[in-house]
Structure 1
Amino acid sequence: MAEQGGYGQFCPVAKASEIVTTRWTPLVLRELLCGSSRFNEIRRGVPLMSPTLLSKRLKELEEAGVIACSPVAGSKVKEYRLTDCGEELRPIILALGLWGKRWVESALESGDWNAGTLMWDIHRMLDPAAMPGGRNVIQVDFNDAPKEMRRWWLVVEEGDTDLCQSDPGYEVDLYLSSDVRTLARVWIGKDKLSAALDDGALEAIGCNALRKDMLAWMKLAVVAQAEVRMMQ
């Protein structure tokens, strides 16, 4: 399993590390723990990882019994699901995220604030049940993102959420505007939404219900949610 032949130790920490700490593997596990189950879904969460390496890591995790792979009925598409063994890694990955948030977040560089990764995360964690009935359309503009990553739409209808980079053609209910870093820091629980709105770093214009209940439907990153639970 390990890329360099393993650590050559009987220590359980060494053997576990050969499986779960190879490059990109913790992030692949993060994607699976957050609900991604298909190859392209997982890849959206790790855009700098090559498809070849992702395939290799998934195969390694399957061989280790961490995930199970099965075909989608009537399709050539495969789904990857965590086994009981894989689910036991959930608190470990969350603890790693909490540790990173507390001790190494200051090391974040400008290139780490990625609009595409942020919007993908928000889209998959969004809670349609916390929104008004019917279709809800949210337009998100980042004033500092590359041109092709500057404008996004979230279309929420009948319990499903679509993330679009081209205009879906629906009337927009809520407009959000900020730089990537501002919304990302709110999303990971580093800054308060109310403070970002009050000082104008984040603008929210449109449906009052959507604006008022932003934290309810947008929720927070998984690590931020875990931190909130720990403080309760």
Structure 2
Amino acid sequence: MPCGRDGSPKNELAGWRGEALTVPVPEYGQFCPVSRGAEIFAERWTPLILRELLNGSHRFSELQLGMPRISRNLLTQRLVSLAIAGVIERRPAEQARGFTYHLTSAGEELRSVVEALGAWGYRWGGADLPSGQLDPVLLMWFIRRRVQVQALRRARTVVRFDFRRPRRSFWLRIEPPAVDLCFTDEGFDVELTVDADLAALTAVWLGRLRLAEAIAAGSIRIDGDEDARPLFGRWFGLSPFAGGGAERILAGAGRGQ
């Protein structure tokens, strides 16, 4: 969950006024099931919305963190379209104002499609990391999602990530089973600090760069308690599409910096 941000955008309701609302969906004009499926799945941003929902994001603000470049209006429109198609449903939030979004059984069946698309993209989409695709907020959101909480022994572990360009800091507050991404310092003691070049840490998370190589090159530095550094390679989860084995990629986290 994110902390330090407003979780209820003011215009979240904008696209849902009136039960008779419809959103035009581009049609191929074919009866082919591939065509019919693509009309729902292949709209821009829709696969990413499904990715976020499949990974546990349910609030509007959480969906935005996973897609920082989508406008609120377009996100609302896509959610409405998916609801009309029977892929998602909207429910009143239980413990806060606003709504949450959940996959229906039809939406859950798209899991294998999204996973196959990700595996194909990892293999054939190119391994380069253009600067225009790098985003510290998105990376931290993905890192938060993949934390292996079972590897941590403390009731609370706080890790600060300092990115060099753009200069920005984030905090992971890990209180198993919860993992919160914070955008401001909440005043807790920090057990571990990760000072990193954005491209290098992204490449490590993707499993395309070994952590030991990044440390040796000076693009990543890990400082902290003697007992906390070696655990980094155990709780830092890689992309679900990363190949090569996490143990090999993350070896070297406990070395003196």
For the 8 Å contact 1:2–1:19, the answer to whether it is kept is no
The residue aligned with 2:240 is 222
Secondary structure in 2 matching 1:205: strand
Aligned counterparts of 1:58 and 1:127: Cα–Cα separation in 2: 30
Q: Deviations over 1:177-213 (max 9, x none)?
A: 1111111111112122233234432111113443223
Structure 1 unaligned spans of 5+: none
Secondary structure in 1 matching 2:190: coil
Task: State the TM-score, normalized to the length of structure 2.
Answer: 0.80
Aligned counterparts of 1:74 and 1:151: Cα–Cα separation in 2: 29
Q: 1:207 aligns with which of 225, 233, 239?
A: 225
The residue aligned with 2:42 is 21
Structure 2 unaligned spans of 5+: 1-21, 247-257
Aligned counterparts of 2:217 and 2:153: Cα–Cα separation in 1: 27
| Deviation (angstroms), 1:2 | 8.6
Secondary structure in 2 matching 1:212: coil
Secondary structure in 2 matching 1:189: coil
Pair 1:49-2:33 in alignment: no
Q: Which amino acid aligns with 1:28?
A: I
Alignment of 1:134-173 (within 5 A): 134-145=155-166, 147=167, 150-173=168-191
Secondary structure in 1 matching 2:57: coil
For the 8 Å contact 1:34–1:222, the answer to whether it is kept is no
| Deviation (angstroms), 1:228 | 5.8
Secondary structure in 1 matching 2:76: helix
Count of aligned residue pairs for this structure pair? 225
Q: Deviations over 1:118-167 (max 9, x none)?
A: 0111113223222121221111111111x4xx111111124322222222
Give the alignment's Cα RMSD to 1 decimal. 2.3
For the 8 Å contact 2:129–2:199, the answer to whether it is kept is no
The residue aligned with 1:117 is 138
Secondary structure in 2 matching 1:101: helix
For the 8 Å contact 1:141–1:176, the answer to whether it is kept is yes
CA separation of 1:208 and 1:76: change in aligned 2, threshold 3 A = same
For the 8 Å contact 1:3–1:22, the answer to whether it is kept is no
